[in-house]
């Protein structure tokens, strides 16, 4: 799309875009999407694209689900808004909270709703601090996150995020937030180090960090079971049990950020189950409503919920909440979206279609520019390198992924470049045949961009 199109001109003039080089946007203009159908979106010029990223890792049921539109319409007519402050409630928020707790088999006890994953993680930071204040240990406040982890963009959640681009220019991270090593064996493993030895080393590094800071000052550890925005990093199998054991040893809460992995992405309802994570907090968003409505949930276990309830009694209130916490339209849409995921077996489809995706992408592993293919279920990444043997980055500017992604877009496939990697995260409704088309288009784009 060129900047001579009137709509594009208005976009450039009046809208500051999220995660966009604002200077370059003035020259290049936007790609404006107009409608969606199944796994496809169409721009205003009528060009069709396979949405290979499910929007922002988020549209599980595809871009044209009438049941979600119907439920939103009905709820808007019945009760378009009601809040959850001061003992008030609304029907869909209660039903969704109960449904989410049920999906965890009762391992979590209560849900708190926010509008976005960032706000949910921000809320967790406050809850962790509140929890330790309630327990009379005001010094136990530090939170350990990971390099390349992604947890959002509010002041606290951007501090948890372990990406320089989210800190640069913003005077972040906040004090009391620390980062430990990313569990990416291909990039962080030592020569001849096995995945098991690598996981052992990362757990030892975590313990060393806790001891250096003082265990009495460390409150929580946060991680995505499978990292998304940091480049789709599937950790070694033993990584989470080892990290969790270190946390338990020092009475450190475990936070599983399942904003991307929740609701089937990896072929399991929650990726925590895949890795044996028993979190004290879980963060859910994105596929919670298939992003048809902005909504996120903080789930907490009884250990935390009981302390928060007691402390709010002592202080007179739990002094936290958003106007739209538990919004009836968003929570009604989430309930229907989860019903669709269950009725259509989309978690199993993520496993089956995901196996095809993983196999098709791994067929590219011999390509001279492909360093690593990684992923699980319907989430994957292909990392490009200049030299396979030395694993030298493809491009000193670290933007090889973006070049391939631009070519894919030309070829009707939307993917995401993350430095030298290209990420894949299609809607959970994708068929095995559609995965084949997606993989063909990517292979062609890789050839053309190389």
Give me the residues that bind ligand PLP (CB under 6 A), please.
116-118, 121, 150-152, 224, 228-229, 257, 259-260, 285
- Per-residue HEC secondary structure of 65-126 comes to CHHHHHHHHHHHHHCCCCCCCCCCCCHHHHHHHHHHHHHCCCCCCEEEEECCHHHHHHHHHH
Output the smallest distance, CB 314 to ligand PLP, in A: 31
**What CA–CA distance (Å, rounded) separates 110 from 249?**
25
Output the smallest distance, CB 57 to ligand PLP, in A: 6
CB of 151 or CB of 268, closer to ligand PLP: 151
CB of 265 or CB of 360, closer to ligand PLP: 265
CB of 90 or CB of 118, closer to ligand PLP: 118
Dump the DSSP string for 418-431.
ETTEEEE---TT--
CB of 156 or CB of 385, closer to ligand PLP: 156
Residue with nearest beta carbon to ligand PLP: 117
Would the CA dihedral through 313, 295, 8, 66 be positive or negative?
negative
CB of 178 or CB of 370, closer to ligand PLP: 178
The two structure tokens encoding residue 56: 């922002």
**What CA–CA distance (Å, rounded) separates 138 from 369?**
51
Output the smallest distance, CB 291 to ligand PLP, in A: 9
CB of 54 or CB of 61, closer to ligand PLP: 54
Task: Please check whether residue 228 is in contact with residue 55, taking contact to mean a CB–CB distance below 8 angstroms.
Answer: no
Q: 48 in helix, strand or coil?
A: strand
Please state, in angstroms and as integers, the Cα–Cα distance from residue 181 to each residue in 145, 177, 185, 338, 448, following that order.
Answer: 9, 14, 11, 34, 35
Output the smallest distance, CB 285 to ligand PLP, in A: 5
Residue 164: closest CA among 259, 260, 230, 255: 230
**What CA–CA distance (Å, rounded) separates 257 from 272?**
9
CB of 232 or CB of 307, closer to ligand PLP: 232
Output the smallest distance, CB 194 to ligand PLP, in A: 28
Residues 6+ apart with CB under 8 A from 339: none
Output the smallest distance, CB 24 to ligand PLP, in A: 22
The two structure tokens encoding residue 316: 């007179």
Output the smallest distance, CB 175 to ligand PLP, in A: 21
Residues 6+ apart with CB under 8 A from 170: 158
CB of 65 or CB of 258, closer to ligand PLP: 258
Dump the DSSP string for 113-170.
EESSHHHHHHHHHHHHHHHHHHTT-TT--EEEEETT----SSHHHHHHS--HHHHTTT
Q: Which class for 105: exposed (0-12), middle (13-18), buried (19 or more C-beta within 10 A)?
A: exposed
CB of 124 or CB of 449, closer to ligand PLP: 124
């Amino acid at each position: 799309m060129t900047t001579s199109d009137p709509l594009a001109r208005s976009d450039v003039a009046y809208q500051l875009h999220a995660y966009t080089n604002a200077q370059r946007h003035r020259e290049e203009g936007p790609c404006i999407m107009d409608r969606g159908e199944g796994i496809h979106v169409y721009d205003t010029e009528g060009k069709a694209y396979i949405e290979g990223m499910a929007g922002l890792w988020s549209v599980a049921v595809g871009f044209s689900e009438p049941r979600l539109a119907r439920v939103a319409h009905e709820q808007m007519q019945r009760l378009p808004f009601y809040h959850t402050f001061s003992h008030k409630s609304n029907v869909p928020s209660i039903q969704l909270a109960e449904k989410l707790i049920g999906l965890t088999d009762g391992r979590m006890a209560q849900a708190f709703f926010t509008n976005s994953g960032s706000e949910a993680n921000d809320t967790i930071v406050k809850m962790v601090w509140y929890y330790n204040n309630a327990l009379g240990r005001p010094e136990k406040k530090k939170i350990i996150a990971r390099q390349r982890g992604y947890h959002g963009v509010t002041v606290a959640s951007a501090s948890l995020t372990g990406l320089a681009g989210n800190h640069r220019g913003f005077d972040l991270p906040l004090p009391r937030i620390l980062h430990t090593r990313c569990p990416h064996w291909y990039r962080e493993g030592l020569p001849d180090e096995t995945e098991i030895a690598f996981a052992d080393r990362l757990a030892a590094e975590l313990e060393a960090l806790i001891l250096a800071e003082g265990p009495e000052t460390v409150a929580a550890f946060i991680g995505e079971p499978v990292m998304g925005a940091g480049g789709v990093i599937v950790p070694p199998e033993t990584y989470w049990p080892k990290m969790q054991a270190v946390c338990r040893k020092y009475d450190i809460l475990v936070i599983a950020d399942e904003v991307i992995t929740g609701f089937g992405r990896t072929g399991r309802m929650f990726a925590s189950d895949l890795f044996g994570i028993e979190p004290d907090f879980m963060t859910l968003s994105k596929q919670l409503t298939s992003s048809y409505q902005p909504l996120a949930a903080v789930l907490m276990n009884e250990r935390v919920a009981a302390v928060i309830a007691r402390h709010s009694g002592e202080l007179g209130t739990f002094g936290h909440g958003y106007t739209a916490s538990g919004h009836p339209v968003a929570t009604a849409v989430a309930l229907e979206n989860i019903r669709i995921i269950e009725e259509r077996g989309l978690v199993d489809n993520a496993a089956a279609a995901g196996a095809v995706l993983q196999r098709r992408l791994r067929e590219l592993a011999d390509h001279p520019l492909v360093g690593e293919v990684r992923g699980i279920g319907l989430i994957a990444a292909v990392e490009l390198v200049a030299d396979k043997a030395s694993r030298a980055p493809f491009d000193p500017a670290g933007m090889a992924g973006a070049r391939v992604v631009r070519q894919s877009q030309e070829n009707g496939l939307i993917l995401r470049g993350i430095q030298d990697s290209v990420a894949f995260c299609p809607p959970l409704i994708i068929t095995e045949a559609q995965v084949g088309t997606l993989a063909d288009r990517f292979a062609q784009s890789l050839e053309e961009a190389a």
